[in-house]
Amino acid sequence: MTSMQTAMPRQQLAQAMTNIVAPAQVLCDDENQRPFECDGLAVYKQMPWVTVLPDTVAQVQAVMAYCHQHAVPVVVRGAATGLCAGAMPNASGVLLVMTKFNKIVDIDAQLAQATVQPGVRNLALSEAAAPYGLYYAPDPSSQIACTIGGNVAENSGGVHCLKYGLTVNNLLSVTMVTIEGELVTFGGPGFDTPGMDLVALTAGSEGLLGAVVEARVRLLPRAEKVQVLMAGFDSVTAAGDAVADLIGGGVIPAGLEMMDKLAIEAAEDFVKVGYPKDAAALLICELDGTQAEVAAQLSEVEACFKAAGATSMRIAKDAHEAAKLWLGRKSAFPAVGRISPDYYCMDGTIPRSQVGHVLTRIQALSEQYGLPVANVFHAGDGNLHPLILFDASKPGELEKAEACGGDILTLCVDVGGTITGEHGVGLEKMPQMPYQFSDQELAQFRAVKQAFDGQEILNPGKAIPTLKYCQEYRSIQHD
Amino acid sequence: MTDLTNELRAQIADAVATATPLNIVAGNSKAHLGRQATGQTLNVSAHTGVISYSPTELVLRVRSGTRISDINQLLAEHNQRLPFEPPCYAQRATIGGTLAANQSGLATPWFGGVRDSVLGLGLINGKAEHMHFGGQVMKNVAGFDVSRTQVGAMGTLGLITDVSLKVLPQFRAEKTLMMPMPLPQALTYMSRFFCQTLPVTAVVYWQGQVIVRLQGEPATLQAAAQQLGGSEMPMHEAHKLWQQVREQTLLQPQADEILWRTNVAANDSHTMVGDDCLLNWAGAQRWQCLKQTAAKPAGAVQYAGGDRQQEVNGELDKTSQRLQQNLKAAFDDQAIFNPGRLYSWM
């Protein structure tokens, strides 16, 4: 609806905002707003109409109430590390930047819980919890910069999800401001509240239901022992089988990552940590727990990987070496960035048993589009991150990369998976939503959206496509 | 092993056409929970069976009328378990009801509750549309998390037709320890089970003792038992106790009593701390039987017993109530499903 509507004059909106926050907290010229025009997916850009940086909950309430009253779109933004253009601004709306809400309100070391403002960085929380022997488990690759508010919005994961869960599994309560400007809290300090689970509904809602202003999360005790090992395989299928055998055999690793040949080579050339460049696939496995537990599991993992045909194996002898083995994996994206002018990072999830098949199909797509694809993924939970290499300066390459990415996502759905594991739909994956969901399911999502935001002014045009959009999409697919 | 999705959908379509409220029932093991049921019975008990189970994927998908006891048996054959350890209610509890009533068991603080194991589900809404949300994979952020929203909704948002769950490997060994101590001290003591890496899967405070269940690798249990001290409870006694806590039979309200339950910060020293209270989840979930004439414990839910026509789940703030009413209308605008079961106004 908003795109059809005439925007409120920029100066009028900016003036209204300065009645709520200090003038320095309102930006409305292009020069100052330029840094806010995109999130981590920079191919989607939009200059905000007016940017507001509140620093009190009362200000957030007042901004929301004003926008509700005047039907002005609102996009809530954290650190904007998201990779699906979920935080891309709206051309006629307010961009509500939450980075000033950067305080850890409380760390309750006895209960192992923390209460944080949404702008607290993910890693900063683990650092603050460290003196108590605690940490915050969800650890997306962007954890140095991404914020808890954004993590809630996208239900972020990381490399330790299989064992320790996603954001939703570590979230006890959420306080948010509704589009009407009301303050509401779901959940509490216990592990349960009566009635429908609105904490879970809020997690992963991509800023469509409200503005999170506080979250209470669980912290976990640091494991007594952490052990990392790496194994090379001569095919991705063999590595995939090793993963299935390990988990089916009763071992749940803290992290289990896979990289394919192109990713291994790029990472090794970049950080030189001793990855086997001759391997077709690499598994990095992290075990944690008590000394006795880790020792027992380690011998099981070794036996399992050997039986699955590992061509090389290396067990980190100390924390330093473990960090080195992780470094290659964690540097995979920038490493790929070195070998290609641009890359497009995809995010889909598949049943683990489909890994071999899906990687073979991705290879075929790579050849079809003439674009190399490096694969890095969370093998433990089947979350793929194919990196499509392209050169945006060559006409048509970006479009080709996007088309290739779209085909990879629909492939994920075809094998029983999903178009997004942890990055969200945002603007990027709107075309694939009608592929994964029926019109009835999408209509149900819209009804949920309208239950919270009847005017649909919170992050409009993202995450949930309209029926009209779907009909257009389907007619294109049938052409 | 019968798929009754089409029949159930037809019954719902009829109910929608005639504006007939429905009371969803499968094993009928939870009639004593929530507010008193009204409406025409929609029987889901024959809609049973495993749709898919892949032990190496750790994913089980079953029809909603499938009994928890049958699921437990199947998983045990593959050396796996339901992480949230729900009650079986004399073999009558089904997965649909367990999810709707949020029957999260002993290990919830350490392995998550029902919601944490739910990966996806099928739902028939108040338009008699059959839809699927979530999926059979560990991570999925496409669309709103409609699946987990159903947890605790008492069937008010639609009929759950099938559920996909994350399962976990069975433990290899088990040990139960007892430490006698007064309650104030126990509240502090029990918080270590959140802050230390111990192989703990259940902690209750009952009749003057902290009782801890350890599960995991045998060597790990040995080390943890030495670290914790206390005395070991004989296995048969321990199994009986854990079964009673899980099946909610340790405290059973008499005809003139109410069983109250509350969820609090585990170290809360003010709420339900009497000698007759059962503290589960290391103190975060508390239970107490009181005479109907006794004052309601602050913040507690009237879990079972007493007048089931009044509100049993407590009051909500205005905004929460408005949002939940809106959500109800979003799924079931004619209020066909389990009217009034969760709240009088829903």
Task: List, as one string, the DSSP characters of B278-302.
Answer: EEEGGGTEEEEEEETTSPPPTT-EE
Nearest CB to B116: which of A165, A250, A353?
A165
Contacts of B216 in chain A (CB under 8 A): 293
State the Cα–Cα distance between residues B182 and A235, nearest whole angstrom.
60
Instruction: Give the residue ranges of DSSP H helices in B172-229.
Output: 183-190, 192-195, 218-228
Eight-state DSSP code of residue A95 = E
Tokens linked to B147: 């699946």
pLDDT one-digit tens code per residue, A166-182: 999 999 999 999 999 99
Counting residues of chain B whose pLDDT is more than 90, the rounded percentage is 97
Eight-state DSSP code of residue A282 = E
Nearest CB to A437: which of B137, B143, B267?
B143
Contacts of B152 in chain A (CB under 8 A): 192-197
Eight-state DSSP code of residue A276 = -
Q: Does A188 have pLDDT greater than 80?
A: yes
Q: Do B142 and A419 touch (CB under 8 A)?
A: yes
Q: Do A425 and B112 touch (CB under 8 A)?
A: no
Q: Does A466 have pLDDT greater than 90?
A: no
State the Cα–Cα distance between residues A227 and A233, nearest whole angstrom.
20
Counting residues of chain A whose pLDDT is more than 90, the rounded percentage is 89
pLDDT one-digit tens code per residue, B282-305: 999 999 999 999 999 989 999 999
- Give A460→chain B minimum CA distance, Å: 14
From first CA to last CA, the distance across chain A in angstroms is 27
Bridge partners of residue A104, in order along the sequence: A116
pLDDT of residue A478: 53
Nearest CB to A200: which of B54, B115, B199?
B115
What does pLDDT average to over chain A? Answer: 94
State the Cα–Cα distance between residues A290 and A227, nearest whole angstrom.
11
Q: Do A196 and B149 touch (CB under 8 A)?
A: yes
pLDDT of residue A477: 63
Nearest CB to B317: which of A165, A184, A191?
A184
Q: Does A290 have pLDDT greater than 90?
A: no
**In terms of pLDDT, which residue wins out, B219 or B163?**
B163
What does pLDDT average to over chain B? Answer: 96
CA distances (Å), origin A444, targets A186, A464, B129, B146, B228 = 22, 10, 10, 9, 51
pLDDT one-digit tens code per residue, A78-129: 999 999 999 999 999 999 999 999 999 999 999 999 999 999 999 999 999 9
pLDDT one-digit tens code per residue, B101-152: 999 999 999 999 999 999 999 999 999 999 999 999 999 999 999 999 999 9
| Average pLDDT value for residue range A270-293 | 94
| Average pLDDT value for residue range A9-36 | 97
What pairing do the DSSP bridges indicate for beta strands A348-349 and A255-260? unpaired
Chain B: residue nearest A447 by CA?
A: B330
Q: Does A479 have pLDDT greater than 60?
A: no
| Average pLDDT value for residue range A8-29 | 98
Contacts of A175 in chain B (CB under 8 A): none
By mean pLDDT, which of A159-163, A358-362, B268-272 is the weakest?
Answer: A159-163
- Give the residue from B9, B111, B125, B139 with the most A CB atoms within 10 Å of its CB, the best one to mutate: B139
Q: Do B142 and A433 touch (CB under 8 A)?
A: yes
CA distances (Å), origin A70, targets A179, A336, A428, B161 = 11, 46, 28, 42
Q: Do B330 and A162 touch (CB under 8 A)?
A: no
| Average pLDDT value for residue range A234-246 | 93
Interface confidence (ipTM) of the complex:
0.97
pLDDT of residue A67: 98
Nearest CB to B330: which of A166, A195, A448?
A448
Contacts of A196 in chain B (CB under 8 A): 149-153, 156-157, 324, 327, 342
Write the burial class of residue A400 (CB in 10 Å: 0-12 exposed, 13-18 middle, 19+ buried): middle
State the Cα–Cα distance between residues A135 and A25, nearest whole angstrom.
33
- Residue A154 Rama label (left phi>0; alpha psi -120 to 50; beta): alpha
pLDDT of residue A346: 94
pLDDT one-digit tens code per residue, B206-223: 999 999 999 998 988 999
- Give A15→chain B minimum CA distance, Å: 29
Q: Do B145 and A162 touch (CB under 8 A)?
A: no
Chain B: residue nearest A201 by CA?
A: B145
Please report which helix (H) or strand (E) contains residue A398, including its range: helix A397-414
Chain B: residue nearest A192 by CA?
A: B263
- Give A191→chain B minimum CA distance, Å: 7
Please report which helix (H) or strand (E) contains residue B211, including its range: strand B209-216
pLDDT of residue A6: 79
pLDDT of residue B148: 98
- Residue contacts between A and B (CB atoms, under 8 Å): 267
Q: Do B54 and A353 touch (CB under 8 A)?
A: yes
Q: Do B157 and A349 touch (CB under 8 A)?
A: no
- Please check whether residue A445 is in contact with residue A406, taking contact to mean a CB–CB distance below 8 angstroms: no
Q: Does A292 have pLDDT greater than 90?
A: no
Tokens linked to B92: 């009558």
Q: Do B330 and A198 touch (CB under 8 A)?
A: no
Chain A: residue nearest B189 by CA?
A: A110
* pLDDT class of A5 with cuts at 50, 70, 90: low
Contacts of A464 in chain B (CB under 8 A): 143-144
Residue B102: φ, ψ to 5°: 50, 65
* pLDDT class of A4 with cuts at 50, 70, 90: very low
pLDDT one-digit tens code per residue, A116-125: 999 999 999 9
pLDDT one-digit tens code per residue, A299-348: 999 999 999 999 999 999 999 999 999 999 988 989 999 999 999 999 99
Q: Do B135 and A418 touch (CB under 8 A)?
A: yes
Q: Tell me which amino acid residue B221 is.
A: L
Chain B: residue nearest A208 by CA?
A: B144
Q: Do A445 and B264 touch (CB under 8 A)?
A: no
pLDDT of residue A2: 42
Chain A: residue nearest B318 by CA?
A: A184
Contacts of B133 in chain A (CB under 8 A): 441
Nearest CB to A444: which of B131, B266, B324?
B131
Q: Does A3 have pLDDT greater than 70?
A: no
Torsion of Cα atoms, A317 then A319 then A321 then A326, to 10°: 130
Q: Tell me which amino acid residue B68 is.
A: I
Q: Does A60 have pLDDT greater than 70?
A: yes
Q: Does A381 have pLDDT greater than 80?
A: yes
- Give the residue from A444, A452, A466 with the most B CB atoms within 10 Å of its CB, the best one to mutate: A444
Any idea what the Cα angle at residue A198 is, between residues A194 and A203, rounded to 5°? 140
**Cα Rg of chain B, angstroms:** 21
Chain A: residue nearest B106 by CA?
A: A191
- Give the residue from B56, B60, B144 with the most A CB atoms within 10 Å of its CB, the best one to mutate: B144
Q: Do A196 and B342 touch (CB under 8 A)?
A: yes
| Average pLDDT value for residue range B251-259 | 96
Contacts of B200 in chain A (CB under 8 A): none
pLDDT of residue B60: 98
| Average pLDDT value for residue range A8-27 | 98
- Residue A463 Rama label (left phi>0; alpha psi -120 to 50; beta): left
**In terms of pLDDT, which residue wins out, A467 or B270?**
B270
Q: Does B82 have pLDDT greater than 70?
A: yes
Q: Do A204 and B317 touch (CB under 8 A)?
A: no
pLDDT of residue A287: 97
By mean pLDDT, which of A439-453, A462-476, B195-209 is the weakest?
Answer: A462-476
Q: Does A475 have pLDDT greater than 80?
A: no
- Give the residue from A139, A290, A414, A440 with the most B CB atoms within 10 Å of its CB, the best one to mutate: A290
Q: Does A164 have pLDDT greater than 60?
A: yes
Nearest CB to B142: which of A192, A381, A418?
A418
* Token pair 């690499």 in the structure block, residue: A282
- Please check whether residue A163 is in contact with residue A178, taking contact to mean a CB–CB distance below 8 angstroms: no
Chain B: residue nearest A429 by CA?
A: B142
